[in-house]
Structure 1
Amino acid sequence: MSIDVGAFLQASVPFVNTLGITFDHVGDAKAVARLADRPDLHNHVGGPHAGALFTLAETASGAVLVSVFGDQLTRATALAKTSTIRYAKLAKGDVTAEARLVGSRDEVVTALDAGERPEFDIEVDITRADGAVVTQMTITWTLRPLRLRPPTPEAPHA
């Protein structure tokens, strides 16, 4: 069964809607998300606030994660472990985040199958309308295996 990951994130993460993040594409270990230019999201120089850019990038990376590892989320919890961000140029106007998985899904699932807590990176470039990269971010995610409780003994029969 396939789900619309963008719609899922918009429905399950209220902050995505607060910022008005939309999705152009999610699939093939990639995602493209957009943030429209809105004065209420501006910083002191008239572009999107750094926090809005961070959230756009993290949201795009989350879309990649769900599209690639959604079938594993019944047995593991996805958690962002670290993020590094570099603001390269002034962002003005609408911005687009392009996220992509670094590495192999198979390696991550194999580690999870072995009972490990795999880590993997998703890289994101944020561009403005002229194509200039304004921000780059790498999010290191982990899949924490769910700990199942051992079965409880049945209550003695009376």
Structure 2
Amino acid sequence: MSQDVSFVADAMKQAVPWVKTTGIEFEEVSADRVVASLPDDETLRNHVGGPHAAMMFGLAETASGAVVMAAFAAHLDKATPLVAKADIAYKKLALGVLRAEAVLGRSADDVLADLESGTRPEFPVSVTITNAEGVTTGEMTVVWTLKPAR
């Protein structure tokens, strides 16, 4: 039986006001994969007419956060998800609407086993950013941790 994660899109927009402000939408949400998109908005552009690098970073980090929320929603009373580090590579000039596909890099069960054993787990989320034609414009790895609740 799969977990209902339909709440994630609205929860992200409420918990992180920036998500709503930028117009990020969630096209697909599951407990191990999220696809989010950033509209082509001239107020978010850089000097060459594409989304500013900060917007690309933010879109990718938001998608990664959404998949973490979806994967660990039932356990947020035990731990708080936090970004430990992030690395982004800008591959190609980005123009127009962007999509970010975030994929959980370890199974949620493995991460939760670490948490239950008293270890503060770290786990990667890989994100691929593409333009409307499906061309990869950026790649990001976000390493998340679950900080145990006290």
Q: What is the rounded CA distance, in whole Å, between the counterparts of 2:36 and 2:134 in structure 1?
A: 14
**TM-score relative to the length of structure 1:** 0.90
The residue number in structure 2 matching 1:106 is 109
**Does the CA-based 8 Å contact 1:80-1:140 persist in structure 2?**
yes
The residue number in structure 1 matching 2:27 is 24
Larger Cα-atom Rg = 1
Percent identical residues: 46
Between the two proteins, the alignment pairs up a number of residues equal to 147
The residue number in structure 2 matching 1:14 is 17
- Superposition deviation, residue 130 in structure 1: 1.1
Q: How does 1:21-60 map to 2 (within 5 A)?
A: 21-60=24-63
Equivalent AA in structure 2 for residue 62 of structure 1: G
Please state whether the residue corresponding to 1:40 is helix, strand or coil: helix
The residue number in structure 1 matching 2:82 is 79
Equivalent AA in structure 2 for residue 102 of structure 1: G
- Superposition deviation, residue 31 in structure 1: 0.2
Instruction: Give structure 2 stretches of 5+ with no counterpart.
Output: none
My pick for the range that moved more, 82-91 or 96-105, is 96-105
Instruction: Give structure 1 stretches of 5+ with no counterpart.
Output: 148-158
- Structure 1 runs, 4 residues or longer, greater than 3 Å off: none
Is 1:64 paired with 2:67? yes
**TM-score relative to the length of structure 2:** 0.95
**Does the CA-based 8 Å contact 1:31-1:63 persist in structure 2?**
yes
- After superposition, the CA RMSD in angstroms is 1.1
